[in-house]
Structure 1
Amino acid sequence: MWWFQQGLCILPVALVLWTTATFIFAYITAVVLRHVDPLVPYISDTGTVAPERCVFGIMLDVSAFLGVATMYVRYKQVQALTDQESRLHKLNLLGLVLGWTSSFGMCIVANFQKTTLFSMHLVGAILTFGVGALYILVQAVLSLYMQPHIHAKSVFWVRLCIGGWTFASIISMFVSSVIMYSSLPGVDVAHKLHWIPGETGYIPHIVSTISEWSLALSFVSFFLTYIRDFQKITLRAEADLHSVHLYDSSHYSITPSFNHSETSPLLAGGI
């Protein structure tokens, strides 16, 4: 059995690889078609103009779905490992809500381009990165309470450092964006896809874009910490029949030749 076939670690692996591929594909396509500048454009700018915005939206929606599945498995795992801790159960549930909210924000970012409806795109970005950062913080706190009996202290420190990296990127991006917008009064920055070195607002723009890519990288890096944990969990779906037939009326009394319940893994291949 390969390492990615152990437990459900295929979920965080798929999430990381697919999301990374989304960013790289959109960037290469946008640069080749000269829709953006090669030097560190905004991630959203690489998915603004057709045809890359069409594929970018679809791929990012898939990433959001993988995120929802990954966060749910993490929730069930922590729930099983902390059976007697009601405080951790509440914190774990909070993490699930924050994570799913962040994934919903990713769908908004994917389907509302900033040049089409900037206000909705901004809401999606806040939900994705802002609420997502809170999700990382909650998971770091959970890791603090779960060590050393459930996992090593190093896991907590890695997740805490990634959380600090995330918040530092958010602060840097926010400050540089405020400076950039304030230095360009009357300019429609949302529709500005090309920048000339030395022009007003160029330096804050570069700092802002680097911060955004750093922020995205911190999110991807965080889910890498789930791989070893997910190798130790498997979820199964059980079908419980309430009737021996599928007719609307109840006078049928067909004797079934099969079991009334069926259990199988959520993912095929014995994962």
Structure 2
Amino acid sequence: MSTSRVLISRCHRDTRQQATHIPTRTADEDELEGDEGTPLLVGERDVGVTEECEGSPLLRKEKNQNKYKQSEGDTMILGDKLHVVTVITAIYVPVSFIITYAIAVSNGHVEAGFPYISDTGTLPPESCIFGQLLNFGALIAAWNVYIRYKQIKATYLPVNRRGILRANTVAFILGLLTATGVSIVGNFQETNVIVVHIIGAFMAFGIGALYCFVQTGMSLKMPEVPGSTPFINKIRILLCVLDTVFFILTFSGTASSGIGNHIYHMRWASSEPGYAEHLVATISEWLMAIFIVMFFVTFYKEFRKFRLTSPQVVFDIKPEIGCDQLNHTEILGTEYVGQNNTGTSGSFP
């Protein structure tokens, strides 16, 4: 018998069909069969399998097993080049802001000198583009958050560092909330649903800053993570401090500029009251966004030392399913569980 095996159910045939299609079992096969109804283990080179059984998803997976090895080829997108995700983040986010800024200025919807980021995506047509770009930006941010979460978990779960693992879960939740806030900002314009827009902005910048603080605190206690250096930790501390300062300046400048009087006409003139405070708030907002993006870039070196593989899916196959039913069954998992819950793992088909 071949060492590569799959679990298939015994074909239900009448006596004549069994005599025609099912070969005489060897002594090895008799040992593999347990109680009545237990799935039969058949090697990939065994003969006598019917045409219907050959077409089953389980046997199709067996034929491709050598091609898709979990240890080598079964990786996620950029699974062995995760540092590229930080580069994508550093390029995509500023380019998104510049695109909507250029459209808004060309249409005369905002002034050329430092409008709020949200103002550049408030009025159509740039509002549609802004929302779509930020949706992708939120997805990229969540991708960074997920990779970092899996990296820390893989490093410290075997040694049961409960404090770091709990902080890692908290950081993961904060990161997902930050990404959600980015999407909310893009889809709920300030001129339409101002309350939801402000909530999204607080999630993106406020909770985003909190995520950076938690990650920085964890980094100081995780020198064992491959790629982590004292210099990177110092950069993260600096970014957290700057992010906090500009977060305070953004909201205090917005409140003191009398923004309520200008919310529906976003073209500020230098002669208007509160213009100086307006500039402080808008410039601080742009810098705050840049610093959060830079924080994700600091994961570059650590992500280079880490590879992310596809998740495994486990499901049950009932022993009484025949070949006809197997032919119409979608086999999407990597582990096949029989009657006694003993599985055979493999790579994705």
Report the identity percentage: 30
- CA distances 1:11-55 after superposition (whole Å, capped 9, x unpaired): 222222211111010111111111110000100000011111111
Residue 213 of structure 2 corresponds to residue 143 of structure 1: no
- CA distances 1:152-211 after superposition (whole Å, capped 9, x unpaired): 211111101000010010011122112112xx7xx5432131111121111100111001
The question of whether the paired residues in 1 share the 8 Å contact of 2:225 and 2:302 is answered with no
Amino acid aligned to 1:263: S
Partner of 1:190 in structure 2? Answer: 263
CA distance in 2, matches of 1:240, 1:26: 41
Amino acid aligned to 2:244: F
| Structure 1 residue 9 displacement after superposition | 1.3
Residue 230 of structure 2 corresponds to residue 174 of structure 1: no
Partner of 1:128 in structure 2? Answer: 204
Q: Which has the larger radius of gyration?
A: 2
CA distance in 1, matches of 2:225, 2:292: 26
| Structure 1 residue 76 displacement after superposition | 0.9
The 5-angstrom pairing of residues 224-263 of structure 1 reads 224-240=297-313, 242=315, 250-253=320-323, 261-263=345-347
Structure 1, gaps ≥5 residues long: 265-271
| Structure 1 residue 114 displacement after superposition | 0.4
CA RMSD of the aligned region, Å?
2.4
User: Which of 151, 172, 192 is matched with 1:116 structurally?
Assistant: 192
The question of whether the paired residues in 2 share the 8 Å contact of 1:236 and 1:263 is answered with no
Partner of 2:81 in structure 1? Answer: 7
| Structure 1 residue 149 displacement after superposition | 7.1
The 5-angstrom pairing of residues 1-271 of structure 1 reads 7-83=81-157, 84=159, 85-147=161-223, 151-181=228-258, 187-240=260-313, 242=315, 250-253=320-323, 261-263=345-347
Instruction: Name the SS for the 1:174 alignment partner.
Output: helix
CA distance in 2, matches of 1:146, 1:197: 49
Partner of 2:48 in structure 1? Answer: none
Amino acid aligned to 1:101: L
| Structure 1 residue 238 displacement after superposition | 4.6
CA distance in 2, matches of 1:118, 1:43: 14
Amino acid aligned to 1:252: G
Cα 1:241/1:199, change in 2 over 3 Å = closer
Q: How many residues align?
A: 253
Q: Which TM-score applies when normalising by structure 2?
A: 0.67
The question of whether the paired residues in 2 share the 8 Å contact of 1:71 and 1:96 is answered with yes
The question of whether the paired residues in 2 share the 8 Å contact of 1:112 and 1:120 is answered with yes
Cα 1:135/1:238, change in 2 over 3 Å = closer
CA distance in 2, matches of 1:193, 1:221: 28
Partner of 2:3 in structure 1? Answer: none
Amino acid aligned to 1:242: F
Cα 1:243/1:89, change in 2 over 3 Å = closer
| Structure 1 residue 234 displacement after superposition | 1.2
CA distance in 2, matches of 1:207, 1:149: 39
CA distance in 2, matches of 1:220, 1:240: 33
Structure in which a larger fraction of residues adopt helix? 1
Which region of structure 1 is more displaced relative to structure 2, 144-153 or 12-21?
144-153
Q: Which TM-score applies when normalising by structure 1?
A: 0.86
CA distance in 2, matches of 1:190, 1:9: 40
CA distance in 1, matches of 2:80, 2:262: 47
| Structure 1 residue 78 displacement after superposition | 1.1
Structure 2, gaps ≥5 residues long: 1-77, 337-344
CA distance in 1, matches of 2:108, 2:153: 49
| Structure 1 residue 147 displacement after superposition | 2.6
